[in-house]
Amino acid sequence: MPLSVLVTGANGFVGRAVSRALLERGDTVFGLVRQPRSTMPGVREWLHTSADFDAIDADWPAGFRCDAVIHLAARVHMMNETAADPLAVYRATNVEGALRVARAARRAGASRFVFVSSIKAVAESSTTRAIAEQDPAAPSDPYGISKREAELALIAFGRESGMEIVIVRPPLVYGPGVRANFLQLMRAVANGVPLPLGAIAARRSLVFVDNLADALVHCIAHPRAAGQTFHVTDGRDLSVAELARALATPLHVPARLWPVPVSLLRLAGRLTGRSPQIDRLIGELRVDSTHICEVLGWYPPHTVEHGLLETAAWYRSTH
């Protein structure tokens, strides 16, 4: 049955994919954004300029009601943080902002709130096995801490209000329009830059943006999603060396990978003050996403190969 869905951050990298998936399903999509005329065609835009969603009740359109919310808007992980108190800034947007949206949507009739969290709410790395939903959460940076606190706050609000809360924790999301580290890697591969990645065997989970969007659509529509926490991945983990080689093929370039020992990469990180970046590059972060398959019968509709092909095609057409 078609639903009326509010998508916060509807003009973002993931938001546009989610909006497209909802529209294709026949849902009515309202996009809560900070910039006008920036969403997918067919999305009904609602402009709200505050990153922390303060005064959202005053901005709430008269008579507007929705069935569900997909909350994507967030202060994302910052590589070069400049705030004097980063955790306070993350909390203002990611915790208090999410709660403000949930409260306002509940008053407007929404029965379900899908919160897009992050695997960083649980951990930065995995050890002997992939991270599962029931594993103890031990976030290590302000972004991850704020996401975990938002999860707990929303669960408590759901118990108080009767709103169905669904938490989705993706790992690194890629696809057409991707930015940050993934784009830097793709640019380096495309430009033939020799990369010291050939000896890195640790695997990391990824999720193609259209796979994540499809999972989020399931989470607003499936009755068994209520009250659940789901990890969502492509179902196949790659080492960074395998990822670079997989990108090189559709980019029509050779993968120039040097087998530099991991110990030397760690040393280089310490000497250059870039140990956190090196640790993320060489560390393992495998995520178990079988729970959503078992509960909702959801499986990624696109393979890793398809996702990387689409991403490389976008890169070639725009760069």
- Provide the residue ranges of all domains of the chain, joining segments of one domain with +: 4-175+208-234+288-297
Residue in the structure block whose two tokens are 């991945």: 233
Nearest-CA neighbor of 219 among 95, 68, 118, 108?
A: 68
For the question of residue 143 being annotated catalytic, the response is: yes
Residue 80 confidence (pLDDT) above 70? no
CATH architecture of 4-175+208-234+288-297: 3-Layer(aba) Sandwich (3.40)
Collect all residues with Cβ–Cβ distance below 8 Å to 141 and sequence separation of at least 6. Answer: 77, 120, 124
- pLDDT digit string, tens, across residues 180-201: 889 999 999 999 999 999 999 9
pLDDT score, position 313: 97
Tokens at residue 298, please? Answer: 């959801």
Active-site position among 143, 174, 299, 315: 143
Q: Record the tokens describing residue 226, joined without a space.
A: 């209520």
Cα separation, 82 vs 176, in Å, equals 28
pLDDT above 90: residue 1: no
52: alpha, beta or left? (left if phi > 0; alpha if psi -120 to 50): alpha
Classify strands 172-174 and 164-169 as parallel, antiparallel or unpaired: unpaired
Kindly report the number of other CB atoms within 10 A of residue 101's CB atom: 23
pLDDT at 25 over 70: yes
Instruction: Confirm whether pTM is higher than 0.75.
Output: yes
